[in-house]
Structure 1
Amino acid sequence: MKTFDKDRLMLAIAGPLLALVSAFVLTMIVLAATGINPIEPLSIMVENGGYEDIQVLIVNQAGTYYLAALAVAIGFRMNLFNIGVDGQYRLAAMISAVVGGAIALPGPLHILLIVLVAMLTGAFWAGIAGVLKAKRGVSEVVSTIMLNAIATSLIAWLILPKNLGVQVEGSNDLTTGEIAQSGWFPALSLGDSGEIYGFTFIAFALGVVYWFVLNRTRFGFDLRASGASESAAAASGVDSKKMIITAMLISGAVAGLSGMPVLLGESHTYTLVFPVGVGFTGITIALLGRNSPIGIFFAALLMAFIDKASAGLDTAGYAKEIGTIMKGLIVIAVVVSYELIRRYGIRRQQQKVGEELAAGHAMKTEKEVAA
């Protein structure tokens, strides 16, 4: 048992490590192939990451990414690919911003209302895909991709001034109106370095909840069992169709929370420039972190570091899109390296079983000779 646990731990670490090393090497090769010094841009990024104000930005961004990745990971544990986190996150942020800007309540109640609206909106949008999957067998990949496109168009229509939007005088930007200060989540001030969004700490705390529910509750066991084998789960009395819908609802609710750090901590309104692509980055982070709350935490910090540390590359004469290239290569490296590690793990298990059988046969032969 100890040997098995050691092997499993080594394989779990080897996957992300191989992916990161591969992505780093590939990035250097790509930069060198285009005539760019591959060392200097990376050293600039490391230097930028050492500034306190950039570190604050990294932590804030990591909180948003962490929630998006948790939403994806919940689906993965049920063997569902919720690729619609980005649409669920943006629609939830928009609707909750509208409600938060239209209603004034005492501080805690106002914040709670905005958060609940965001969760319900995200859960509803993801639940559509869950129902289609459970009742009609529609692939959640196809349905969530389509729902992403529908969410984009729906947001563009809802934010028009004739509907729910507000156009600031002298600006072409459209907003949902500013949320009253009672709906702002308190932040941790670090002086001149900036503020860490208060909801960022809530985001990281949800990782503990995620771990506890999946590993220490009957619901978490049923979720994982259904994802591993629907037939086996059904034999133990688990309704797999109900679990599909439930998992998508929870995944969507967490996706809805992804916009809360920015909405409640900085923008206090939804605009056309609200961050996009968060859900897709969450997929990369969930894969890199192997659906583990700790792995996702470090993967979220890494992606946030690449985002914020590469933003200043253009001032040094390098394209800031180098960060985007790195993230794309990490995605490719994750898929390839995890498959290689998986195959190695299977061969390793087969080898161990063969050795144990051979050892057992040898002992049996010795006993027969002795007799």
Structure 2
Amino acid sequence: MKNLKIDREKVLLGVAGPVLALVVAFLLTALVLIVSGYNPFEPFELMFGAIGEQDVQVLIINQTGVYYLAALAVAIGFRMNLFNIGVDGQYRLAAMLSAVVGAHFSPPGFLHIVLIVVTAMLVGSFWAGIAGVLKVTRGVNEVVSTIMLNYIATSLIAWLTLKDQFGYQAEGSNDLTTGEISKSGWFPGIHVSDLAGDIYGFIFVAAGVGVVYWYVLTRTRFGFDLRASGASESAAAASGVDSKRMVLTAMLASGAVAGLAGMPVLLGQTHTYSQSFPTGVGFTGITIALLGRNSPVGIAFAALLMAFIEKSASQLSYATPPYPPEIADIMKGLIVLSVVISYELVRRYGLKRQQSRVGRELAAQAAKNRKEVSA
């Protein structure tokens, strides 16, 4: 019963952080609206009202899958105490090169999809591995190296999509693409309606990646070594764990999952890569991983929340007078700040509770010992 009580307290403290962050973020958003002269309640009513619209539902579900994969990539690094800020560059470069491969090679049947997905994972893993190698061989901080690699990826993509390289420009269009992937490379989705469109079939793959992430981290020796190295590198080394190998492996795995983040859109919607391909996904993934506390279930709910905020914000333009769409960006930014503050407050509260409980137990044991001595 005592252990059950302690476990329940841990669960409550784990939930308290994100709940407190969301409450504070929404209150601060309302305050910003009041200061700006807007109604602080109507935007939320419009956004929550959008949930009932089928096309918005499909958009939210599809975006959730993309964000979920990006956040899992970030979470793998977090588990190793690594801050992989380069997920956005890894995701975009992987999507572009896999689109090139998919457009130029067409293996029969399902092998076409497999080729594209494997290419994306290899490219993402390679790009993240550069930062991993720099860290274990030269001690370069992964934050600095991944930020620089993001810029390099952007320039590399721009160069590779030129007409002299792999770019393709359709007649009458100013948009450069990598060419369209043939239908054998399209991942089948779930058709909802002509208005709402399709739900990406790759979302089920994303859910499977979440299950694999949970299993590897909690049920395998590798997962234990990864978490141990992230918690204390010296303690892990004392138990025989090669910390450098774990750093490199974590970066490679993080990059591979980051490469998958572009697959729902590439295989389920655009079937090509162009300059209009979504950007900033990796940075939103950092927010989601923090909010979800690196838990696959927590990340799923956080990804759903971020997708809801982003896609339902389109309803703000239909109000009279219309609300600025930047409200959604303000909300997401405030959630990031609130997460950092609320988690620290909850951590301190939990530590204080633990110290108080230990103090009571020691006092009770001392009183018991005195009674035994006096008897």
> Structure 2-normalised TM-score?
0.97
Residue 179 (structure 1) aligns with:
181
Moved over 6 A (4+): none
- The one-letter code sitting in structure 2 at the alignment partner of 1:58 is I
- The one-letter code sitting in structure 2 at the alignment partner of 1:208 is V
Find the aligned partners of 2:151 and 2:314 in 1 and give their Cα distance: 28
Deviations 1:63-103 (A, max 9, x none): 00000000000000011010100000000000000000001
Q: Select which of 40, 43, 50 maps to 2:42.
A: 40
RMSD of the TM alignment (CA)? 0.8
Query: How far apart are residue 105 of structure 1 and its match?
Result: 1.4
Residue 322 (structure 1) aligns with:
327
Query: How far apart are residue 290 of structure 1 and its match?
Result: 0.3
Find the aligned partners of 1:134 and 1:105 in 2 and give their Cα distance: 38
**The 10-residue stretch of structure 1 (250-259 or 321-330) with the greater mean CA deviation from structure 2:** 321-330
Find the aligned partners of 2:136 and 2:352 in 1 and give their Cα distance: 35
- The one-letter code sitting in structure 1 at the alignment partner of 2:350 is G
- The 5 Å alignment of 1:197-346 reads 197-316=200-319, 317-346=322-351
Query: How far apart are residue 3 of structure 1 and its match?
Result: 2.8
Residue 93 (structure 1) aligns with:
95
Percent identity reads 69
Query: How far apart are residue 237 of structure 1 and its match?
Result: 1.1
Deviations 1:15-51 (A, max 9, x none): 0000000001000000011000011111001111211
Deviations 1:241-297 (A, max 9, x none): 000000000000000000000000000000000000000000000000000000000
Q: Select which of 105, 123, 139 maps to 1:121.
A: 123
Query: How far apart are residue 312 of structure 1 and its match?
Result: 2.6
- The one-letter code sitting in structure 2 at the alignment partner of 1:344 is Y
> Structure 1-normalised TM-score?
0.98
Q: Which runs of 5+ in 2 are unaligned?
A: none
- The 5 Å alignment of 1:59-138 reads 59-138=61-140
Specify the SS of the correspondent of 1:189: strand
Residue 362 (structure 2) aligns with:
357
- The one-letter code sitting in structure 1 at the alignment partner of 2:240 is G
**The 10-residue stretch of structure 1 (13-22 or 316-325) with the greater mean CA deviation from structure 2:** 316-325
- The one-letter code sitting in structure 1 at the alignment partner of 2:114 is L
Matching of residue 347 in structure 1 with residue 352 in structure 2: yes
Specify the SS of the correspondent of 1:86: helix
- The one-letter code sitting in structure 1 at the alignment partner of 2:49 is E
Query: How far apart are residue 172 of structure 1 and its match?
Result: 1.6
- The one-letter code sitting in structure 1 at the alignment partner of 2:99 is A
**The 10-residue stretch of structure 1 (186-195 or 294-303) with the greater mean CA deviation from structure 2:** 186-195
Q: How many residues align?
A: 370
Residue 149 (structure 1) aligns with:
151
Find the aligned partners of 2:163 and 2:171 in 1 and give their Cα distance: 12
Residue 12 (structure 1) aligns with:
14
Find the aligned partners of 2:170 and 2:348 in 1 and give their Cα distance: 57
Find the aligned partners of 1:360 and 1:286 in 2 and give their Cα distance: 42
Find the aligned partners of 1:319 and 1:205 in 2 and give their Cα distance: 37
**The 10-residue stretch of structure 1 (311-320 or 20-29) with the greater mean CA deviation from structure 2:** 311-320
Specify the SS of the correspondent of 1:269: coil
- The one-letter code sitting in structure 2 at the alignment partner of 1:70 is L
Query: How far apart are residue 350 of structure 1 and its match?
Result: 1.0
Find the aligned partners of 2:161 and 2:314 in 1 and give their Cα distance: 29
Deviations 1:276-335 (A, max 9, x none): 000000000000000000000000000000010002311321111111111111011001
Query: How far apart are residue 179 of structure 1 and its match?
Result: 0.2
Specify the SS of the correspondent of 1:135: helix
Residue 367 (structure 1) aligns with:
372
**The 10-residue stretch of structure 1 (231-240 or 17-26) with the greater mean CA deviation from structure 2:** 231-240
